[in-house]
Amino acid sequence: MIASLSGIISSKDLDLVILDVGGVGYGVLVIAEDYGRLNEKQTVTLYIYEYIREQAHDLYGFLNRETKAFFEQLLAVNGVGPKMALAILNTGSVETLREAIASGDAAIIAHASGVGKRLAERVVVDLKDKVGLIGDSTGIGLMKTSSKLLGDEAVAALIALGYSSADAARSLQSIDKTLPIETRVTEALKRMS
């Protein structure tokens, strides 16, 4: 099993990079976010997910382990193969996708190429309790913050205005909870603009 590859990017083609490792060129499929960060002649280490089937031997590479771990969580959902998991990862950052799954927002997942509403809902249902949200830059756990605020009318108002529950929770977390709901929503909207 290949766990990681270190080498030089010899070329880039669509969602594939050729990684030269000691004179052997490995074709590695990568997500759009990583593709944009990689440059030809750059030395990198990619964390590899190896997918072997009768007709092919595909390598999926990720610049960080967290993204690879999330990719593997997506593969655990019935009906999601590696190409579909890659398409889901191409719809947004890992943090955005985890927040969407934790808040039950299947619409974001459904934006992925080849993912219908039913499969997106299955991803949310299967992974909702497993996404393991990581704290934001302030060190406060988003999942804890979101769960405290989900019963909050100010959060509901922001969600009704089209914001994700994660964005609503983040914008409200430092606003005094004793203020009237209208004031809290107004302050949160100022912070998000």
pLDDT digits (tens, 9 = 90+) for 139-151: 334 444 444 444 5
Last residue of a domain, one of 38, 62, 86: 62
Residue 51's pLDDT is 94
Residue 133's pLDDT is 53
Residue 138's pLDDT is 34
In a domain, 133, yes or no: no
Residue 35's pLDDT is 92
Domain residues for 101?
65-127
Q: Which long-range contacts (CB under 8 A, 24 or more apart) does 34-41 make?
A: 34/61, 34/62, 34/63, 34/67, 37/63, 38/9, 38/12, 38/63, 39/9, 40/9, 40/10, 40/11, 40/12, 41/8, 41/9, 41/10
Residue 142's pLDDT is 44
In a domain, 12, yes or no: yes
Residue 143's pLDDT is 42
Under-70 pLDDT residues of the chain: 132-152, 160, 162, 164-166
Residue 156's pLDDT is 74
Q: Indicate yes or no: pTM above 0.85.
A: no
In a domain, 132, yes or no: no
